[in-house]
Structure 1
Amino acid sequence: MNEQKTPPRPRRSPRDWAVDSALFLAAAGFGLVLAATRLETHPLPPPWLFTLDQATGALGCAALWLRRRRPTETAVALVAVSAFSEMVAGAMLVGLFTVAVHRPPRTTAAVFGLSLLSASCYVVLRPEPDAGPVLLLLFGSALQGAAVGWGLFVHHRRRLALSLLGRAESEARLRAERARNQVREEIAREIHDVLGHRLSLLSVHAGALEYRPDAPPEDVARAAGVIRENAHRALQDLREVLGVLRAPVGELPQPTLADVRRLTEESERAGTRVELEEDVTGTVPDRVGRTAYRIVQEGLTNARKHAPGAPVRVRVAGEAGRGLTVEVRNTAPAAAPAPDARFGQGLVGLAERVALAEGRLEHGPTPSGGWRLAAWLAWSP
């Protein structure tokens, strides 16, 4: 059978050795001062009692080296001995301080009450001719109360420090979790924005081939070419998006406002009639241009999914100080939407992008039965 080993006790640190040595020397010095004072008084106590008192004080000081392992037991033993020994008083005060630091306040109160009882016994057993019993009892109680009060102060200060440390660790965990969630949201937005556009093109043309098997060969060839081209580009885009798992999002290739024309040309080659109107004065900041690109991309993707065959009008206008306006508008659909067309999380992610760019987003049906997606983006001069 394997015997369960007791975990080793933690070794004293240099600071612990310094504190323990200082308290030991303070208790021993307190006992020596009492012994010297007693030698100068008359009449002297009986020799046997004086010798016993000195031996008890020395043993009490030696017992302080056990105070970290057994603080309550050590303090109770010193309090009991202090009922007749005056030279153990210094060690007894250190024992009370130790209990107050390392044990709950309820235990400290019980040991402190026992020390007051022991002080009362000492006054009765060893009265002082030059001091009244009440004055001697009050002096001893004041010393014991000061030791306990100091220990309680240290105890609560340590608990407060641990509480603040635990709170700081909890806040650090929350910040880390918030950062992870933010990264996940960025990954989801990148995947939706980059792949949604390509996959919608594939879905439209694959659906056309499925529902029009009798289409002319040139239309079939053109649709197959679009599917092949966009499948290849989707794979390239997927490789770039997966790079976010190895690098920050900011290091990925990001589109700009200049790429909007290429985006509309791809949609036209895929069969969607797109009219682009640009009226931009000045150089658009990268962040604003990237957000505008994503707005146009989302608008074209939704137009293909929910209004197949409807012409789309894209307008981008603005200047520094006035802001950038982006609008994607389509007329009523000329054909029924694809059977698998449904609203997803694209507009939700787009609203988050626009909010981060300090802009406003609007979307909804038009009186003519079409759909309008528009945004205003802040553009500082």
Structure 2
Amino acid sequence: MSVPRLPPLRRFAPVLFPAFGALMSITQIVAEVSAGTPRGELLADLGVLVLACVLLAGLPRWPVPVVLTLIVLTAFAFTATIPAAIATLEVASRQRPRVSCLVGVAGILAQAIFGLWRPMPGLSYGWWLVIVVFAFIALVGVGMLIRTRRALIDSLAERANRAEAEQGRRVAEARIAERAALAREMHDVLAHRLSLVATYAGALEYRADAEPAKLVSAAGVVREGVYQALGELREVIGVLREDTDASDRPRPGLPELRELVAEARAAGTPVRFDYRIQDGETLPPATGHTGYRVVQEGLTNARKHAAGQEVQVRVEGEPGTGVRIEVSNPVPGTDSSDGRGTGLIGLTERARLTGGKLDHQLTGSGEFRLDAWLPWGGES
């Protein structure tokens, strides 16, 4: 939303300027009538006043030519003085200082000429010049002050609009980043949970001859997995609807890896787990959560592309050196996946956001390896 500005009065200038000039000049005509000015001279002054007021109507469109014409008229008739003063003030408030000063000098010269052939009664020529000089200095000075103030207001309004647009852009970018983080979180959670459900569902499909107790157990795991997936999905959607910060939600870290590995083993994935972080060591929440997601994605990929193959998980680290996570598993020759799924892309972005890095590759020996390094806090 732009900064509101008052509607410009310049659209009414062709009417306001002549009306104001005529109103201010009426006192001059009355004064000349009271002083017994000859009729011919009075009519000439009145004609100059009418011409000056007509010229003021064109001041907004042709400011400099109009003000110079009015200044020339002031050398012949005093009734053009007030219209010329109005035009001088308007030009000084709109034009460059050099143009305004030249207009002021021209006005002083014209009034000096007028004072020579039509001196003011009871006022010496010297004092007349002093009054004229100070009057035009005041007109030009006030006009420049108005111009400076207008420029300052326009500058402040522009800066306010720019700041508001920048703030809107930052808010939009923050919302996009937050929703991207929620999308990554949703993928990490649901991909892992649904892969477990698919594993147990596959067991129900292909092992129909299994003992009833095992079938019931597998069906219970499927049901529990679906409930957990729905609960986690509902939690993420609730964050989206409430427009709250997803970072406020409790998130798993490295201490929860043991539960994750146990869950994978229960689903039939043999896992060799090597955890070398001392209990009691406190990791930054972002680092711990990213490490958890790295292991989770590795186990999920192994379950999808190397079912039944042993997965080796190694986690080690300490303050000052960071956390190193390695997840590897052999990949059957029939699997053509190169590990470039959206999950790994999201994990790579997540690791970079925490100041770490993540590499994944399919080695020549047919082993898929996921290698991540995450800062403990302060490492680079």
Equivalent-residue separation in structure 2 for 1:380 and 1:266 (angstroms): 30
Query: Which residue of 234, 251, 264 corresponds with 1:267?
Result: 264
- Give the CA deviation at 1:115: 9.1
Equivalent in the alignment of 1:216? 210
1:73–1:312 CA distance, 2 compared to 1 (3 A):
closer
| Equivalent residues in 2 for 1:93-242, closer than 5 Å | 93-98=85-90, 101=93, 127=116, 130=125, 149-207=144-202, 209=204, 212=206, 216-217=210-211, 220-242=215-237
> Quick check: 1:226–1:270 contact (8 Å CA) kept in 2?
no
Deviations 1:237-294 (A, max 9, x none): 1122123222311221211211111111111111111111111132333222111111
> Quick check: 2:188–2:297 contact (8 Å CA) kept in 1?
yes
Equivalent in the alignment of 1:72? 60
1:224–1:143 CA distance, 2 compared to 1 (3 A):
same
1:208–1:113 CA distance, 2 compared to 1 (3 A):
farther
Equivalent in the alignment of 2:3? none
What is the letter of the counterpart of residue 296 of structure 1? V
Deviations 1:10-53 (A, max 9, x none): 699xxxxxxxxxxx9xxx9xxx9x9xxx9xxxxx9948879998
Equivalent-residue separation in structure 2 for 1:11 and 1:118 (angstroms): 28
Q: Secondary structure at the match of 1:367?
A: coil
Equivalent-residue separation in structure 2 for 1:172 and 1:195 (angstroms): 34
What is the letter of the counterpart of residue 318 of structure 1? G
Deviations 1:341-371 (A, max 9, x none): 9853211221122112211211111232111
Equivalent-residue separation in structure 2 for 1:254 and 1:372 (angstroms): 25
| Equivalent residues in 2 for 1:11-90, closer than 5 Å | 46=37, 72=60, 83-84=73-74, 86=78, 89=81
> Quick check: 1:361–1:374 contact (8 Å CA) kept in 2?
yes
Equivalent-residue separation in structure 2 for 1:370 and 1:342 (angstroms): 11
Equivalent-residue separation in structure 2 for 1:355 and 1:331 (angstroms): 27
1:352–1:73 CA distance, 2 compared to 1 (3 A):
closer
| Equivalent residues in 2 for 1:269-288, closer than 5 Å | 269-281=266-278, 282-288=281-287
| Equivalent residues in 2 for 1:342-357, closer than 5 Å | 343-357=340-354
Query: Which residue of 361, 365, 375 corresponds with 1:364?
Result: 361
Equivalent-residue separation in structure 2 for 1:262 and 1:295 (angstroms): 15
> Quick check: 1:98–1:151 contact (8 Å CA) kept in 2?
no
Q: Secondary structure at the match of 2:277?
A: strand
What is the letter of the counterpart of residue 331 of structure 2? A
Alignment: residue pair count = 332
Q: Secondary structure at the match of 1:272?
A: coil
Deviations 1:301-356 (A, max 9, x none): 111122222211111111111211111111233x85599x9853211221122112
> Quick check: 2:327–2:369 contact (8 Å CA) kept in 1?
yes
Give the CA RMSD over aligned residues: 5.0
Report sequence identity in percent. Answer: 34
Deviations 1:51-101 (A, max 9, x none): 9989x99xx9xx9xxx9xx98389899887662455774674455444664
What is the letter of the counterpart of residue 156 of structure 2? A
Does 2:370 align with 1:373? yes
1:336–1:207 CA distance, 2 compared to 1 (3 A):
farther
TM-score by length of 2: 0.67
The runs of 5 or more residues in structure 1 that have no matched partner are 1-8, 13-23, 39-43
The worse-fitting range, judged by mean Cα deviation, of 299-308 and 271-280 is: 299-308
The runs of 5 or more residues in structure 2 that have no matched partner are 1-5, 10-19, 120-124
The worse-fitting range, judged by mean Cα deviation, of 229-238 and 119-128 is: 119-128
What is the letter of the counterpart of residue 347 of structure 2? L
What is the letter of the counterpart of residue 288 of structure 2? G
1:337–1:241 CA distance, 2 compared to 1 (3 A):
farther
- Give the CA deviation at 1:205: 3.8
